[in-house]
Amino acid sequence: MRIVAAMSGGVDSAVAAARMIEAGHDVVGVHLALAQSAATLRESARGCCTLEDAGDARRVADRLGIPFYVWDMAERFREDVVEDFVAEYAAGRTPNPCLRCNEKIKFAALLDKALALGFDAVATGHYAQVVEEPDPAAPHGVRRELHRAVDPAKDQSYVLGVLDADQLARSFFPLGDTVKADIRAEAAARGFSVARKPDSHDICFIADGDTRGWLARRLGERPGPIVDDEGTVLGEHGGAHGYTVGQRRGLGLKVPTADGSPRYVVSTDTRTNTVVVGPEELLGVDRITADHVRWCGGPPPAGAVRVGAQLRAHGEEHPATAHVERAGGTPERLIVQLDARTRGVAPGQSVVLYDGTRVVGSGTIAAAGRVAG
């Protein structure tokens, strides 16, 4: 098969490209230029898409003896990921830009361009596994399923939960059966200069990690009240968009609780520019409604099904029951009933459903609450 290997300049994508070559594929390396003003150097382990990263990717491609190209997708990334991120926070939601990047850039824009140029599929350095199962109803009699990686500490199936069956059919994740330490050892054995390069983390387009400050520069300061669940003013904030449900630090409250217990952000309302705080027990929710539903590698479940629900990229899996609601011609909604209450669930986050290690699908959380009693 003719494969586009997405090469970020890191160790994972370097080894992924090498493994695809060894599997007998015709591989071309592609680095995505996502920053409109790429920095020359990385800031510690934060950020990505610097000129240094592009150079690292090119050196790996040269060592592998494969063609290498840089594809400029900065404008598409700005529109589909960065502007979406800002708009979601402005609306009082907490988005996950990595899921949006996978959905809109790496497995849409990149994959679409690769297919248009005659390639068959895309390979990335994500830690996840694709398992093929016999299915007479699927193309070529085989259904491809997305499963967790063997390394639970590096598993990235959560941020891939937005892939649909067509995208999954043209995606390869050659690192899913290996732990990270072995990937670094393999990179060193192959003579890759990136073998000890630190992993990038946090939000790639906020290199200093200061999300609140970054948002304030784009949305402006909008001072407003921080109140308790009875409406008593406890402090002031610089903009409700800078806070998320479950947040404890950085509240700057002027009125402490009687017993000294901490308060947490319970909800935000960008229309009234109000942040509501309260005790930890007010954070617990067990019913989640999600929209923008995506089914990964198979049709939606019929009726209520037992699933594991993951609410954060590296969060625990919660036992739950899920079903789909449809009303006339409106888009389907996903209803997830958790067996036990959990805290810190915010609109805009994603819920990804699992059946064992298999990813069933995902949705963007629209609301979270409690079942009476």
Q: What is the pLDDT of residue 41?
A: 45
Q: Which residue has the tokens 């011609």?
A: 329
Average pLDDT of span 154-177: 93
Mean pLDDT across the chain: 88
Percent of the chain with pLDDT over 70: 93
pLDDT at 201 > cutoff 80: no
Alpha-carbon span 346 to 356, nearest angstrom = 25
Question: What SS3 class is residue 305?
Answer: strand
**Segment 131-150, tens digit of pLDDT:** 988 877 766 677 889 999 99
CA distance 343 to 345: 6
Least confident of 40-49, 233-242, 247-256: 40-49
Q: Which of 352, 354, 350 is nearest to 366 (CA)?
A: 350
The pLDDT, as a whole number, for residue 222 is 86
Tokens describing residue 282: 């007010």
Identify the pLDDT of residue 212.
Answer: 81
Higher pLDDT, 371 or 318: 318
Tokens of 309: 């629900």
pLDDT of the residue at 282: 85
pLDDT in tens, 14-50: 999 999 999 999 999 999 988 766 554 444 444 556 7
Task: Give me the helix-helix angle, 11-22 and 51-64, nearest 10°.
Answer: 20
Per-residue pLDDT tens for 304-335? 999 999 998 888 999 999 999 876 666 789 99
Given this model, what pLDDT does residue 256 score? 83
pLDDT at 373: 58
Instruction: Identify the CA nearest to 171 among candidates 210, 116, 125.
Output: 125
Least confident residue range of 39-43, 51-55, 143-147, 284-288: 39-43
Strands 121-123 and 2-6 turn out to be parallel
185-197: average pLDDT: 95
pTM (2 d.p.):
0.88
Residues 6+ apart with CB under 8 A from 208: 43, 46, 214
Place of tokens 């850039």: 105
pLDDT, tens only, 87-132: 998 888 888 898 899 889 998 999 999 999 999 999 999 999 999 8
Inter-CA distances, 361 with 94, 158, 159, 298, Å:
19, 10, 11, 9
pLDDT at 172 over 90: yes
First-to-final CA distance of the chain = 56
Angle at 323 between CA 322 and CA 326, to 5 degrees: 150
Per-residue pLDDT for 343 more than 70? yes
What CA–CA distance (Å, rounded) separates 256 from 30?
Answer: 54
Which residues belong to the active site? 101, 204
Domains defined for the chain, CATH in brackets: 2-125+174-189 (3.40.50.620), 222-282 (2.30.30.280), 283-369 (2.40.30.10)
Residues 297-312: pLDDT tens digits? 777 778 899 999 999 8
Confidence category of residue 261, pLDDT binned at 50, 70, 90: confident
State residue 38's pLDDT score. Answer: 56
The confidence score (pLDDT) of residue 229 equals 84
Residue 139's pLDDT is: 66
Query: Which tokens sit at 362?
Result: 């995902």
Distance CA 151, CA 342 (A): 25
